[in-house]
């Protein structure tokens, strides 16, 4: 089956368009909010505010997953986006010369983050509800490519304009939020699989108790838990690199000439080299993403995940163990190749192993892997202070091998894919 974006189900197209717009404008603003808040409240208080924001957004995701299974994806997405738009309006008001209220800007930022955490599992589940197993290979590859474009474009725009044109960026964020509300209300149709009446939770059971009971069934799924552990490890490899490498490169790489062009010499030190490596990673995905997707689409899930991880893990192992600028950039391209092969396919496999009536809950628990991986990644700084660079590379290689073995175990345990529900007639998408 030849797939293209326009052949996808209406809900999927709507969600991908809405998410791309939102990610791009978010990347113009949110990565730079820490700088703004530190200038207003000081570094210590900003650290506390950011920690509270992230922690409560994480808690919101847990409840959001359960709520999306109970009340529906569309309803939760619409309600959270309306609240998010209200929060953005507060950020705009707080940034005007007439009011100039940094507390209001932070409050708006907090509710934006909170609503994103609350609605995230519903958005992920909506795509699974509206696609079959074969389509998801294409969907997640294309979405991964779009996400990297949004990061690249958003960070460039934010880097140039956030400092002096913050209010205008907040207004643009509000406009995108309004467009998102319109897409969610008029384009998306509810398409979830509901529980049989006999299995609906009793109204007499409290919300917290029913939420806890729901997640107990999730963690009893042994296939999912093996997948979760494997995913936790492979994500932690990238985050260990992100935490450890800037410190190591800053100490190991003195300013050196990288190349000469038109009579100009481009020089890098450790800090610039780390930033350049991240640019290489994003640009490689944007340029090569479509080519890689077409050439790996016929690979089985197990071959794509294991083969991609070999490149991904091997590349990161060399990236933390060496300090030669050109060699590091080549290894980052290798990492990008591996990531483009395995990461989207991993998402497709996850969609196959979750029960149709609990997809929101499973997506919420899956989001925990990023939090856990962030904790592991932060420990790399401490570990790197006691062991040499080559040993850090070996540690990443061992972690990568463990992840591969867990994925192999998961594939042996994995049952046949859960059949997708019968498609619902939802009409024709409006002209774009």
Three-state SS for 35-75 is HHHHHHHCHHHHHHHHHHHHHHHHHHHHHHHHHHHHHCHHH
| DSSP reduced 3-state for 267 | strand
Q: CB-based contacts of 74: which residues, under 8 Å, 6+ apart?
A: 126, 184, 188, 189, 190
For 182, 223, 240, 329, 353, the CA distances from 226, given in Å and listed in that order, are 39, 5, 21, 33, 11
* pLDDT for 220: 93
Q: Rg (Cα) of the chain, in Å, rounded?
A: 22
* pLDDT for 410: 95
**For 393-414, what is each residue's pLDDT tens digit?**
999 999 999 999 999 999 999 8
For 124, 128, 287, 298, 314, the CA distances from 293, given in Å and listed in that order, are 21, 19, 12, 9, 21
Q: Which of 418, 414, 419, 417 has its CA nearest to residue 225? A: 414
The dihedral over CA atoms of 355, 361, 363, 366, expressed in degrees to the nearest 10, equals -100
pLDDT per residue of the chain (432 residues) written in tens, 0 to 9: 467 888 899 999 999 999 999 999 999 999 999 989 999 999 889 989 988 998 898 899 999 999 999 999 999 999 999 999 999 999 999 999 999 999 999 999 999 999 999 999 999 999 999 999 889 999 999 999 999 999 999 989 998 999 999 999 999 999 999 999 999 999 999 887 665 544 454 554 577 788 888 889 898 999 999 999 999 999 999 999 988 998 898 888 888 888 777 777 788 888 888 889 989 999 999 999 989 988 998 899 999 999 999 999 999 999 999 999 999 999 999 999 999 999 999 999 999 999 988 999 999 999 888 888 888 888 888 899 899 999 999 999 999 999 999 999 999 998 654 454 444 433 333 333
For 8, 94, 138, 369, the CA distances from 375, given in Å and listed in that order, are 37, 33, 31, 10
* pLDDT for 319: 95
Q: Furthest-apart CA pair in the chain: how many Å?
A: 77
**For 42-54, what is each residue's pLDDT tens digit?**
988 998 998 899 8
Q: Which tokens go with 40?
A: 């207003």
* pLDDT for 13: 95
* pLDDT for 114: 95
Helix (H), strand (E) at residue 271: helix 270-296
Average pLDDT over the chain, rounded to an integer: 89
Outline where DSSP puts E strands in 147-278.
256-261, 264-268
SS3 of the chain: helix, strand, coil, percent, to 5: 80, 5, 20
* pLDDT for 122: 95
For 61, 124, 246, 411, the CA distances from 414, given in Å and listed in that order, are 26, 21, 39, 5
Distance between CA 97 and CA 278 in Å, rounded?
Answer: 36
Residue 108, classified by CB atoms within 10 Å of its CB into exposed (0-12), middle (13-18) or buried (19+), is buried
Q: Which of 190, 220, 195 has its CA nearest to residue 78? A: 190
Q: Which of 168, 177, 185 has its CA nearest to residue 86? A: 177
Q: Are 184 and 81 in contact (CB under 8 A)?
A: yes
What is the number of residues in the chain?
432
Distance between CA 74 and CA 18 in Å, rounded?
Answer: 13
Kindly write down the DSSP assignment for every residue of 99-113, as one continuous string. T--HHHHHHHHHHHH
CB atoms within 10 A of CB 419: 9
């Amino acid at each position: 089956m030849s797939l293209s974006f326009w052949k996808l189900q209406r809900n999927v197209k709507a969600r991908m368009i809405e998410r791309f717009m939102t990610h791009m404008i978010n990347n113009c603003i949110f990565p730079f909010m820490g700088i703004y808040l530190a200038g207003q409240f000081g570094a210590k208080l900003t650290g506390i505010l950011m920690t509270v924001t992230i922690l409560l957004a994480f808690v919101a995701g847990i409840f959001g997953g359960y709520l999306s299974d109970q009340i529906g994806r569309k309803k939760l997405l619409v309600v959270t986006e309306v609240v998010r738009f209200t929060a953005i309006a507060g950020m705009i008001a707080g940034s005007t010369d007439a009011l100039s209220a940094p507390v209001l800007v932070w409050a708006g930022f907090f509710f934006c983050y909170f609503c994103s955490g609350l609605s995230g599992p519903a958005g992920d589940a909506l795509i699974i509800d509206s696609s079959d197993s074969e389509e998801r290979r294409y969907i997640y590859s294309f979405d991964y490519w779009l996400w990297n474009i949004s990061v690249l474009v958003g960070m460039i725009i934010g880097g140039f304009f956030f400092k002096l044109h913050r209010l205008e960026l907040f207004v643009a964020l509000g406009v995108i939020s309004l467009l998102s509300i319109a897409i969610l209300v008029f384009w998306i149709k509810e398409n979830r699989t509901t529980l049989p009446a006999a299995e609906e939770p009793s109204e007499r059971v409290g919300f917290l108790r029913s939420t806890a009971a729901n997640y107990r069934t999730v963690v009893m799924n042994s296939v999912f838990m093996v997948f979760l552990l494997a995913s936790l490890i492979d994500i932690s490899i990238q985050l260990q690199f992100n935490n450890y490498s800037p410190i190591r490169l800053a100490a190991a790489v003195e300013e050196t000439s990288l190349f000469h062009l038109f009579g100009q010499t481009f020089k890098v030190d450790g800090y610039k080299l780390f930033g350049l490596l991240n640019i290489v990673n994003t640009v490689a995905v944007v340029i090569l993403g479509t080519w890689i997707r077409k050439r790996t689409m016929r690979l089985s899930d197990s071959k794509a995940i294991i083969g991609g991880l070999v490149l991904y893990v091997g590349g990161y192992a060399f990236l933390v163990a060496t300090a030669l600028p050109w060699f590091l950039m080549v290894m980052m391209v290798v990492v990008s190749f591996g990531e483009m092969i395995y990461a989207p396919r991993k998402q497709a496999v996850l969609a196959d192993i979750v029960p149709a009536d609990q997809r929101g809950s499973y997506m919420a628990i899956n989001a925990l892997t990023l939090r856990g991986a962030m904790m592991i990644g932060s420990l790399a700084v401490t570990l790197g202070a006691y062991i040499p660079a080559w040993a850090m590379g070996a540690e990443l290689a061992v972690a990568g091998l463990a992840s591969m073995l867990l994925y192999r175990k998961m594939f042996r345990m994995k049952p046949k894919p859960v059949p997708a529900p019968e498609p619902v007639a939802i009409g024709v998408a409006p002209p774009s």
